[in-house]
Amino acid sequence: MASGSGRYLRYLLVTFFIFAVLYFISSSSKPREHLQTASDIIREQNEKWRGYYDQTTAPSAGATEGHHPKASSQPAPPTSPNTVAGLPNAAADGPRMNATFVTLARNSDIWEIARSIRQVEDRFNHRYNYDWVFLNDMPFDDTFINITTSLVSGKTKYGEIEKEHWSFPDFIDQDKAKKVREDMAARKIIYGDSVSYRHMCRFESGFFFRQPLMNEYEWYWRVEPSIELFCDVHYDPFKYMADHKKKYSFVLSLYEYAETVPTLWDSVKKFMKTHPEHIAQDNSLAFLSDDGGDSYNHCHFWSNFEIGNLNWLRSPAYLDFFESLDRDGGFFYERWGDAPVHSIAAGLLLQKEEIHFFNDIAYYHVPFTHCPTGEQTRLDLKCHCNPKDNFDWKGYSCTSRWFDINGLKKPDGYEAEMD
Ligand X SMILES: Nc1nc2c(ncn2[C@@H]2O[C@H](COP(=O)(O)OP(=O)(O)OP(=O)(O)O)[C@@H](O)[C@H]2O)c(=O)[nH]1
Least spacing, CB of residue 397 vs Mg ion, in Å: 18
Handedness of CA 126, 219, 279, 323 (dihedral sign): positive
Based on the shown chain and the rule CB under 5 A, indicate whether residue 112 belongs to the binding site for Mg ion.
no
Shortest distance in whole angstroms from residue 367 CB to ligand X: 8
> Which CB atom, from 224 or from 380, has the smaller least distance to Mg ion?
224
Question: Considering the complex, what minimum distance in angstroms separates the CB of residue 245 from ligand X?
Answer: 28
Minimal distance, residue 131 CB to ligand X, in Å: 17
Q: Name which of 244, 193, 200 is nearest 222 in CA terms.
A: 200
Residue 109 contact partner, candidates Mg ion, ligand X, none, CB within 5 to 8 A by sort of partner: ligand X
CA dist 93 → 37, 85, 89, 128, 231 (Å): 51, 16, 8, 9, 20
Q: Which is nearer to ligand X, 113 or 325 (by Cβ)? A: 113
Among 121, 204, 256, 306, the active-site one is 306
Residues in contact with Mg ion, counted by CB under 5 A, come to a total of 2
Residues numbered 328 to 387 that lie near Mg ion (CB under 5 A) are none
DSSP letters, 343-384, are: HHHHHHHS-GGGEEE-TTS-EEETTEEE--S-HHHHHHTT--
Report in angstroms how near the CB of residue 225 gets to ligand X at its nearest: 5
Query: Of 124 and 302, which CB lies nearer to Mg ion in the complex structure?
Result: 302
Task: List the alpha helices (DSSP H) in 212-298.
Answer: 237-243, 264-274, 285-288
CA dist 350 → 42, 234, 278, 313, 318 (Å): 73, 27, 9, 11, 10
Is the Cβ of residue 204 or residue 360 nearer to ligand X in the bound state?
204
**What does the alpha-carbon distance between residue 270 and residue 89 come to, in Å, rounded to a whole number?**
52
What DSSP designation does 397 have? B
Query: Which residue's beta carbon is nearest to the bound Mg ion?
Result: 224
What span, in angstroms and rounded, lies between the C-alpha atoms of 132 and 152? Answer: 7
Nearest-5° Cα angle at 407, 350 to 388: 100
- Which of ligand X, Mg ion, none does residue 366 bind (CB under 5 to 8 Å by kind)? ligand X
Which of Mg ion, ligand X, none binds 106 (CB below 5-8 Å, type-dependent)?
A: ligand X
By CB under 5 A, the residues from 298 to 337 that bind Mg ion are 304
Query: In angstroms, what is the minimal distance from the CB of 332 to ligand X?
Result: 15
Complex with ligand X: residue 115 or 270, whichever CB lies closer: 115
Task: Choose which of 224, 259, 389, 417 interacts with Mg ion (CB under 5 A).
Answer: 224
Please answer whether residues 242 and 97 qualify as being in contact, where contact means their C-beta atoms are separated by less than 8 angstroms: yes
User: Given the complex with ligand X, which of 136 and 249 has the nearer CB atom?
Assistant: 136
Residue 373 interacts with which of Mg ion, ligand X, none, CB < 5 to 8 Å by class? none
Rounded CA-CA distance 377/387 in Å is 11
Q: Which does 205 bind (CB under 5 to 8 A by kind): Mg ion, ligand X, none?
A: none
Q: Which is nearer to Mg ion, 205 or 304 (CB)?
A: 304
Handedness of CA 102, 106, 107, 112 (dihedral sign): negative
Cα dist. 361→48, 76, 221, 405 in Å? 52, 42, 12, 22
Q: Give the binding site for ligand X (CB under 6 A).
A: 103-106, 109, 136-137, 196, 200, 224-225, 304, 366
- The C-alpha atoms of residue 304 and residue 363 are separated, in whole angstroms, by 10
Contacting range for Mg ion; rule: CB under 5 A; set: 30-38, 161-169, 297-305, 338-346: 297-305
At its nearest, how many Å lie between ligand X and the CB of residue 335?
A: 11
Residue nearest to ligand X (CB): 196
Q: Please give the Cα distance from 417 to 389 (Å, whole number).
A: 8
Which option in ligand X, Mg ion, none does residue 303 bind, with CB closer than 5 to 8 A by kind?
A: none
* Residue 334 binds which entry of ligand X, Mg ion, none, CB below 5-8 Å type-dependent: none
Pairing between strand 99-104 and 131-136? parallel
- CB contact at 8 A, 166 and 196: no
Would residue 306 show up in a list of annotated catalytic residues for this protein? yes
Distance CA 287, CA 301 (A): 10
Sites of contact with Mg ion (CB under 5 A): 224, 304
Residues marked as catalytic = 306
